[in-house]
């Protein structure tokens, strides 16, 4: 039951960062924004999340985790409320940045679950909690679209703030206290993250793969709403949000990737996922003329991103158990910096070149991931060890 509670809370926390994606056309219209300016909202969410990963998540190795989780969940709710009340783009960005900064509570819950799990079940537990996180990302779009049809885009953020407060109360009752302090100051704790990058080649490789895959994910989801809101589809936000459900199969496959990692086959999940990610842009290139191709591309893309992400996390959690929060911070900072770059490039590409510009950017980022993995596997084959 505790794992399911943590998975649900993780999903809700990270969902806060994705409410805007199906709402961008509606928000742009109300706030008088261009496509490129509206895309800044998503980029701000990703950058806020990256900052939280780098500066807040390492505190999980320094502070008592239950108390840290509760405070962060409440501050994330405050960010959502700020966005809901925002009269201008500037205030929307302030609220979005605050939400992104503190919704990284999800990335403290994931290594916390790994710490509480038995070693032989760690991959499965991480996969279950990550399934909750990924379902949160996907359902965020669907729920956001549905709530907008009942009120406005602000209704989504009011509801999200209330849900985070409820989640905080549930976590307060369910989570055990846990504290394994390291003998480091906060500054030295942050500096040790760079030391992990320097000393751990597995972390460097997985961080690059994470940046490429989540960047590709963000390229698609940032501009998807603009594609569907325009010709030939002319969809409303409530309909656009339903497309998040297509990726549920990918999220549910996350636990399977964790089980593969437990059996020592994480590299298979990584290579297969990267190949699938690149291939997903073939049907997505036909999305303007074929809804069937669009749906197939979404399913393949989400399945690929989740599979690679879980295998990445399983790999880095085997490196140094005593530094899981810092490893998470290092990996996920790279992950969301890739996402921020993908969002920014996607909005610019759609604004200047339309959907095929988005496809070109997504294909290029997917190819970068494949190249990194091919080089790494080639070096492993050439290594005498």
162 pLDDT band, cuts 50/70/90, is: very high
Q: What angle do CA 182, 124, 205 make, to 5 degrees?
A: 60
Distance set, CA 287 to CA 228, 233, 374 (Å): 10, 10, 29
pTM to 2 decimals?
A: 0.74
Least confident range from 15-24, 77-86, 133-142: namely 133-142
Distance set, CA 12 to CA 99, 129, 181 (Å): 12, 12, 28
pLDDT digits (tens, 9 = 90+) for 35-61: 778 888 888 988 898 889 888 988 887
282 pLDDT band, cuts 50/70/90, is: very high
Q: What is the pLDDT of residue 385?
A: 38
275 pLDDT band, cuts 50/70/90, is: very high
Q: Across the chain, how many H-helices and E-strands are there?
A: 17, 0
296 pLDDT band, cuts 50/70/90, is: very high
pLDDT digits (tens, 9 = 90+) for 218-248: 999 889 988 998 889 998 877 877 777 776 6
Supply 273's token pair.
């996922």
Domain residue limits, the chain: 2-382
- Does position 382 have pLDDT exceeding 60, yes or no? no
Ranges 22-36, 260-274, 358-372, most confident:
358-372
**Mean pLDDT, range 48-77, rounded to an integer:** 88
More confident residue, 260 or 334: 334
Q: Tell me which CATH homologous superfamily contains domain 2-382.
A: MFS general substrate transporter like domains (1.20.1250.20)
Q: Which of 369, 208, 207, 379 is nearest to 276 (CA)?
A: 369
């Amino acid at each position: 039951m505790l794992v399911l509670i943590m998975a649900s809370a993780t999903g809700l926390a990270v969902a806060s960062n994705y409410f805007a994606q199906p709402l961008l056309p509606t928000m742009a219209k109300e706030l008088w924004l261009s496509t490129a300016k509206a895309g800044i909202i998503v980029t701000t969410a990703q950058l806020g999340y990256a900052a939280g990963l780098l500066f807040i998540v390492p505190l999980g190795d320094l502070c008592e985790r239950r108390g840290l989780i509760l405070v962060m969940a409440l501050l994330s709710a405050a960010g959502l409320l700020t966005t809901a009340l925002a009269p201008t783009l500037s205030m929307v960005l302030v609220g979005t940045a605050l939400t992104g900064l503190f919704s990284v509570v999800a990335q403290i819950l994931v290594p916390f679950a790994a710490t509480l799990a038995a070693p032989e079940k760690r991959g499965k537990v991480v996969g279950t909690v990550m399934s909750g996180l990924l379902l949160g990302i996907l359902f965020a779009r669907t729920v956001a679209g549905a709530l907008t049809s009942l009120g406005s885009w602000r209704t989504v953020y009011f509801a999200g703030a209330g849900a985070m407060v409820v989640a905080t109360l549930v976590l307060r009752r369910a989570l055990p206290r846990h504290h394994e302090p390291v003998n480091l100051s906060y500054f030295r704790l942050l500096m040790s993250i760079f030391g992990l990058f320097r000393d751990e080649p597995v972390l460097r490789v997985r961080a690059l793969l994470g940046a490429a895959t989540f960047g590709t994910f963000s390229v698609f989801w940032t501009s998807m709403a603009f594609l569907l809101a325009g010709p030939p589809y002319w969809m409303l936000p409530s309909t656009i949000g339903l497309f998040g459900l297509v990726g549920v199969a990918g999220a549910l496959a996350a636990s399977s990737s964790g089980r593969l990692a437990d059996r020592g086959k994480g590299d298979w999940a990584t290579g297969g996922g990267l190949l699938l990610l690149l291939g997903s842009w073939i049907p997505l290139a036909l999305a303007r003329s074929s809804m069937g191709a669009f749906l197939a591309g979404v399913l393949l893309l989400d399945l690929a991103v989740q599979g690679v992400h879980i295998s990445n996390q399983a790999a880095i959690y085997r490196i140094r158990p005593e530094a899981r929060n810092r490893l998470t911070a290092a990996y996920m900072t790279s992950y969301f910096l890739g996402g921020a770059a993908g969002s920014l490039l996607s909005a610019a590409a759609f604004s200047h070149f339309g959907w095929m510009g988005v496809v070109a950017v997504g294909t290029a980022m997917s190819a970068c991931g494949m190249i990194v993995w091919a080089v790494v596997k080639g070096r492993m084959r050439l290594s005498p060890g």
